[in-house]
Amino acid sequence: MIYLDYAATTPVPREVADTMYQVLTERFGNPSSQYRIGLEMKKQVEQWRKTVAEALDCPPERLYFTACGTEGDNWAITAAAWQNRRLGRHIVTTAVEHSAVIETCRWLDRQGYEVTYVKPDSRGTITAQQILEAVRPDTALVSVMLVNNELGAIYPISEIARGLAARNPQTLLHTDAVQGFLKVPCSAKALGADFITISGHKIGGPKGVGALYIGPRVKNPKPLLAGGGQEGGLRSGTEATAQIAGFAKAVELRQENLPDKLRHMAELKDYAVERLSAIPDLQIISGEGGAPHILSVSLVGWPSQNIVNDLSQQDIFISAGSACHQGRPSHVVAALGLPKRVAGGVIRLSFGPETTKDDIDGCAAALQTHHDTRMPML
């Protein structure tokens, strides 16, 4: 098998699975229980929170575990709208956000908000100036992702934060850092956002766990779930201890020799650009200057879903855009304004620490064969 879809999800290392197994079978106490194994687990959850918070460079008491990145995005946006409900009903976001952000904004739109979707150029670039120009006195929230999941483009969050502080200090800033956490510099302090979403399964953790950083400018944040008062009373529900344990373990493992891992991914990406550029009709969409693990290319004229299906039959797994958009044209690719034949052929290759040059070679050979043996249809 050749797996080149690490932006969709990642394999869980054995140590992570073992840690989770132990929590599920032996250390299964409920952190809210008042006897020893409950109290021990409560302490342990705080330790795991500390591990994840340190990696995000934020105080642990400002980090809340969630069920996934999607939940973090939904919570951040609705909490920001709630806090600034008297400031105004305008939101600035981008046309290339993950659907967890776009759909929450659309929902608010239906509740009477006005949403501005800032468009990228044809390579996916969006500048801080573009975002700041869209901001108005009644802008309650700006939500811009740190790394685009389909293009790998990195957006200038700290510059946006500084611009907002100077012009509209009450406007809150959210960044979806699901693809940026432990891939590009991602310090809560340096980013300066009020909300930061991260997710476990993009960094070797299990699916079904994430976290949301909520900064000090968010006064009395709107609880996501009311109930037993877990997560500082903001997200009730018995803690998913095994998932949280796995998340923290994955963070620990990923941080070991992190610069080497990132260098490895960046080198693979350069190698992939070199190999794939040799295929006729292949166009690099975005890659340069972006996150080390995501490369977007187009086999101009060949429909991306056919490519994905063909490679899948050979046990090679790549994506035709965001996994969350399967079967539907991606709004991210649409926003680039590319000619139809280019847009229709966009595929994403994404890498992890385990990816090898042989994986790239195998994928490049399969793409070359697809090009040589299938008729272009676009």
Residues that bind ligand PLP (CB under 6 A): 68-70, 73, 98, 100, 145, 149, 176, 178-179, 199, 201, 210, 324
Active site residue 324: yes
Cβ proximity to ligand PLP: between 264 and 348 the closer is 348
Nearer to ligand PLP, 87 or 262 (CB): 262
User: Between 72 and 88, whose beta carbon lies closer to ligand PLP?
Assistant: 72
What residue has token string 């956002």?
193
Biggest alpha carbon distance in the chain?
A: 68
Rg of the chain over Cα atoms, rounded to whole angstroms, equals: 21
Q: Which residue, 180 or 344, has its beta carbon nearer to ligand PLP? A: 180
Token reading at 202: 């993009």
Reduced to 3 states (helix: H, G, I; strand: E, B; else coil), residue 205 is coil
Minimum CB distance to ligand PLP smaller for 198 or for 297: 198
Min. distance of Cβ 70 from ligand PLP in angstroms?
A: 3
Report d(CA 303, CA 43) in Å as an integer: 52
CB of 206 to ligand PLP, least distance (A): 10
Q: Pick the catalytic residue: 58, 105, 324, 363?
A: 324
For residue 295, give the 3-state DSSP assignment: strand
Q: Give buried/exposed letters for 320-348 (b at 16+ CB in 10 A, else e).
A: bbbeebeeeebbbbebbebeebbbbbbbb
**Is there a contact between 325 and 333 (Cβ–Cβ < 8 Å)?**
no
To the nearest whole angstrom, how small is the minimum distance from the Cβ of residue 315 to ligand PLP?
A: 22
Task: Output 168 or 296, the one with its CB closest to ligand PLP.
Answer: 296
Give yes or no for a contact between 343 and 331, defined as CB atoms under 8 angstroms apart.
no
The order of strands in the sheet holding 90-94 is 63-66, 210-214, 195-199, 172-176, 139-143, 90-94, 114-118
Shortest distance in whole angstroms from residue 29 CB to ligand PLP? 26
Q: Which is nearer to ligand PLP, 70 or 93 (CB)?
A: 70
DSSP state of 147: B
Which residue of the chain is nearest ligand PLP when measured via CB?
69
CB of 66 to ligand PLP, least distance (A): 9
Give the list of residues 6+ apart from residue 354 with CB closer than 8 angstroms, or none: 11
| CB neighbour class for 203 (10 Å; exposed up to 12, middle 13-18, buried from 19) | buried
Q: Minimum Å distance from CB 181 to ligand PLP?
A: 10
Q: Do 243 and 200 form a contact (C-beta atoms < 8 A)?
A: yes
Q: Are 286 and 371 in contact (CB under 8 A)?
A: no
How far, in Å, CA of 7 to CA of 205, rounded?
13
**Shortest reach from residue 351's CB to ligand PLP, in Å:** 15
Any idea which residues carry the catalytic annotation? Answer: 324
